[in-house]
Amino acid sequence: MQKRILWIGLALVLIGSLQVNAQNAKPDSSYKKWYVGSSLFVLGNFDRKDNPEYIQLNVGYRITPKNVVSIEFKRSVYNWPIGIPFGPSFRKTGGNYPGHARILAPTLGYQHFWWKGAYTSVYALNAFEKYLDKGNKKIGNGYTLYLNFHVGYQFKFLKNRFFFEPALGCSYWPVRTNVPESFKKVEEKWPNYFIQPGLHFGFNF
């Protein structure tokens, strides 16, 4: 019994030592604490027909090599229900709002790396929205809370200075307030979630 207790004690000490060593392990020389970035969705601004006027700026901080927090700022314009899935109905003629909405959205994010570049992330996007009719007359203000979940992989380039993060994401909005009735009628047949790709990129420093 005493030998068994002794072996258990030694095992616990060894495990504790390994954990401490792992926590204190120094990252390689290319490791950087901060990054700035954006999304390839900004390329949508070249769409002359439906320019989303999309702006996104990401600033992130690596608490550890595996745990990252970020603040993002997004601005965009949209004129169709965001819940329309990719397919025949996506941006189909006649499915637009009777006007458009402008979004300003500060966002908080958390990202965890599980193995090499494989990661999962969650973002809380606080969208402050201004609704305008077809004559660009303001008809109301609203708020939507978007929760975005991503599963992806980070690829690094040029001595790990730059990265690209293709991902599969799901956006879900549990809170949506003060939507004008004319907009509600268009979007009520669509779900309050959307499956979409994630296309973040950035610069480490």
Domain residue limits, the chain: 33-204
The pLDDT of residue 22 is 40
Residues contacting residue 88 through CB under 8 Å, at least 6 positions apart: none
Among all chains, which residue has been given the structure tokens 């047949």? 189
pTM of structure: 0.81
Among 53, 97, 99, residue whose Cα is nearest residue 190: 97
Integer angstrom CA distances of residue 52 from 23, 41, 62, 115, 173: 44, 9, 31, 35, 20
The pLDDT of residue 79 is 93
Question: In degrees, to the nearest 5, what angle opens at C-alpha 43 toward C-alphas 179 and 108?
Answer: 55
pLDDT in tens, 135-183: 999 999 999 999 999 999 999 999 999 999 999 999 999 999 999 999 9
Q: How do strand 138-153 and strand 162-177 relate by DSSP bridges?
A: antiparallel
CATH number for the 33-204 domain, one of 3.30.460, 3.30.2420, 1.10.150, 2.40.160?
A: 2.40.160
pLDDT in tens, 51-95: 899 999 999 999 999 999 999 999 999 999 999 998 888 767 778
CA 1 to chain centre: 54
The pLDDT of residue 47 is 84
The pLDDT of residue 147 is 98
Given a cut of 80, is residue 184 above it in pLDDT?
Answer: yes
Q: How confident is the model at residue 10 (pLDDT cuts 50, 70, 90)?
A: very low
Calculate mean pLDDT across residues 17-36: 61
The pLDDT of residue 132 is 97
Task: Please give the helix or strand (H or E) that residue 157 lies within, else none.
Answer: strand 155-157
Alpha carbons 70 and 182: distance in angstroms, whole number = 35
3-class secondary structure, 66: coil
Alpha carbons 138 and 150: distance in angstroms, whole number = 34
Instruction: Write the Ramachandran bin of 79: left for phi over 0, alpha for psi from -120 to 50, otherwise beta.
Output: alpha
| Stretch among 45-49, 77-81, 185-189, 191-195 having the lowest mean pLDDT | 45-49
3-class secondary structure, 117: coil
Among all chains, which residue has been given the structure tokens 């690094």? 156
Given a cut of 70, is residue 15 above it in pLDDT?
Answer: no
